[in-house]
Structure 1
Amino acid sequence: MAIEVVTTNDLMVGSSVVIEGGSPKGNLVAVFEDDGQTGYFYALDMAAAGNPIQDAMHIYNVSQIADREIASTVKIGWSSDGRKVVLLINNHPHAVFDFENRKGYCRSAFPPVSPSQDWSKDGHGWNNLAIEALFR
């Protein structure tokens, strides 16, 4: 079973951009943002009362990307159940949100504690099992 890629965009790292990809099954949205200094990935639940942002993870610091002058491709893809989402940059997984288990995983493992008290209580450390869960 493959993920369903809902958005594909070209990116010049360090150029401000917001890329959204909604779940094909519900009110969940994943957003990648490069604000010119950093790249972040956000989990949103549009049905949540108040602030829809459930979790946020750091993907990169622009100053640390050696080949930022080369265009990259960003994809946001969802699992078949519409509850797990992956951020792919140049087809390499950088982050995963699991809405069902309220957990985020990213290669930078930052921030160490989620901004939300309800998500990622044990941090954002990368786990290859998160990728495998997309294909169940």
Structure 2
Amino acid sequence: MNDRPKVIIYEEQVFSVGQDTFIDSTAENNNAVIFEDNTETGYFYAIDRNNDKLNILDALHIYNVAHVIDKDKPSTLKILWSEDLTKAFLSINNYYHAVFDFENKAGYCRTGFPNSNSKWTLIAERHLTDDLLLELSRNKK
């Protein structure tokens, strides 16, 4: 029995931290996420695309540009989806920074920031640990 996590890369792009960047990914079931670097911070957003508008469901802080040590080097960003398309993972330079779980209406990142005041989010603890990352990456059968 193969219990290895399986995620699929939907977006892969080289970008520079601190440069205006906007990368979106929409799964076939219309779950959608966006990564944005606005030259000061990096954020990962869960998005509702069911209307013709982009409605932000939740936001996760990824970094402050001023605190990124190697911002002068190009970074590789990947947005990956679980096989069942209910979870979106954000990886920068092969390190997982954040996950949105659309099925359970939850968002997690390494700092757990910010606390969510969104009506969409159903969880209080937002801190992404390696153990939680492994648990979230396993698909239910």
Of residues 17, 40, 43 in structure 2, which corresponds to 1:40?
A: 43
Q: Which runs of 5+ in 2 are unaligned?
A: none
Q: Write out aligned runs for 1:81-120 (5 A).
A: 81-111=84-114, 113-120=115-122
Partner of 2:17: 13
Structure 2 residue matching 1:69: 3-state secondary structure:
coil
Relative to structure 2, which stretch is displaced further, 119-128 or 6-15?
Answer: 119-128
Q: TM-score, normalised by structure 1?
A: 0.90
Percentage of matched positions with identical amino acids: 40
Structure 2 residue matching 1:10: 3-state secondary structure:
strand
Q: Which structure has the larger Rg over C-alpha atoms? A: 2
Structure 2 residue matching 1:9: 3-state secondary structure:
strand
Name the Cα RMSD after superposition: 1.8
Shift of 1:117: 2.3
Structure 1 residue matching 2:118: 3-state secondary structure:
coil
Question: Runs of at least 4 residues of structure 1 off by over 3 A?
Answer: 48-51
Partner of 2:126: 124
CA distance in 2, matches of 1:53, 1:92: 24
Structure 2 residue matching 1:117: 3-state secondary structure:
coil
